[in-house]
Amino acid sequence: MALTQHHVIRNSRARRAQVLLQGRRSEFLLAALAGAAGVAALGALLTGSPALLSVGLAAALAVYTVAAGLAGRAFGRSYPHDRLGLCNIATIARLALATALIVPLVSGQGPGWGIFAVAVTALSLDGFDGWLARRQGLASGFGARFDMEVDSVLALVLALLAWSGGAAGWVVIVLGLPRYLFALAALALPWLRRPVPDVMSRKAVCVLQLGTLIALQAPFLPGTIGMALVVASAVALAWSFGRDVSWLWRARH
């Protein structure tokens, strides 16, 4: 009798966990679909060339779909809470803002106030989603990783916009590549895959990196100031990643 009750309780808990998982996945899917609609609407507003809108929009939605799909898969596997929360909705919104900028990139647009405003909004939400997670008690490793990956997408798109629009030379692309170069290196060097200590200076360098890339989207920024910011950000990124690699090397055994 006791054994039967044990099985009933265990099965009941399993069913409840499955229901919660399906509910969370449904919430994520709805938020992701809303984000896709936002990409389409915002991309149309940012593009001055109707002839190139369809190509740019297709590229933006393709990147958004892949990124949201990967995030949704990680969400279903490792998110520990029973609801999506406003924090993750804010990060999905940031992903939509970042990928919407692919539309003017494909259209070949230069620096402009529309791009600048979208990028500033995306960066502003970067601190807001973390605050919401702590406020709602929904902080998680998934949320931190999702936030970091959205930062990487935003940085790469902004770097390509700055280069293609003539706001800075090819060296600006370096500011959009560190996360992806690090990930490629980690494929060959497993010791690079370990988590590193959470330090404020890394976040400060990220803000400098994104702040520089956003400043380059402003039409009025003189080229000499822009290049000085690019060089300063590149040096700061090299120092930050070099410090992390050094720490990982010492901790590899």
Given this model, what pLDDT does residue 208 score?
93
User: The whole model's pTM is what?
Assistant: 0.88
CATH of 11-250, one of 2.60.40, 1.10.260, 1.20.120, 3.30.1450: 1.20.120
Q: Is 131 helix (H, G, I), strand (E, B) or coil?
A: helix
Domain ranges of the chain: 11-250
> Tokens 């807001």 map to which residue?
128
pLDDT by residue for the chain (253 residues), tens digit each?
555 655 545 555 545 545 455 767 889 999 999 999 999 999 988 886 676 678 889 999 999 999 999 999 999 888 888 888 899 999 999 999 999 999 999 988 878 899 999 999 999 998 888 889 898 898 988 998 999 999 999 999 999 999 988 777 888 999 999 999 999 999 999 999 888 888 888 889 999 999 999 999 988 877 788 889 999 999 999 999 999 999 999 988 7
DSSP letter for each residue of 61-120: HHHHHHHHHHHHHHHHHH--SSS-HHHHHHHHHHHHHHHHTHHHHHTT--S-HHHHHHHH
Burial class of residue 151 (count of CB atoms within 10 Å of its CB; 0-12, 13-18, 19+): buried
Query: pLDDT tens, 134-170?
Result: 988 989 889 989 999 999 999 999 999 999 887 778 8
- Joined together, the tokens standing for residue 162 give 């700055």
Q: Give the span between the Cα atoms of 16 and 10, in whole angstroms.
A: 10
Supply 135's token pair: 């406020």
Tokens describing residue 166: 């003539």
- Of the candidates 145, 173, 141, the one whose C-alpha atom is nearest the C-alpha of residue 157 is 173
Token output for 170: 């090819």
Residue 63 one-letter amino acid: V
Q: Is the Cα dihedral 109, 69, 154, 157 positive or negative?
A: negative
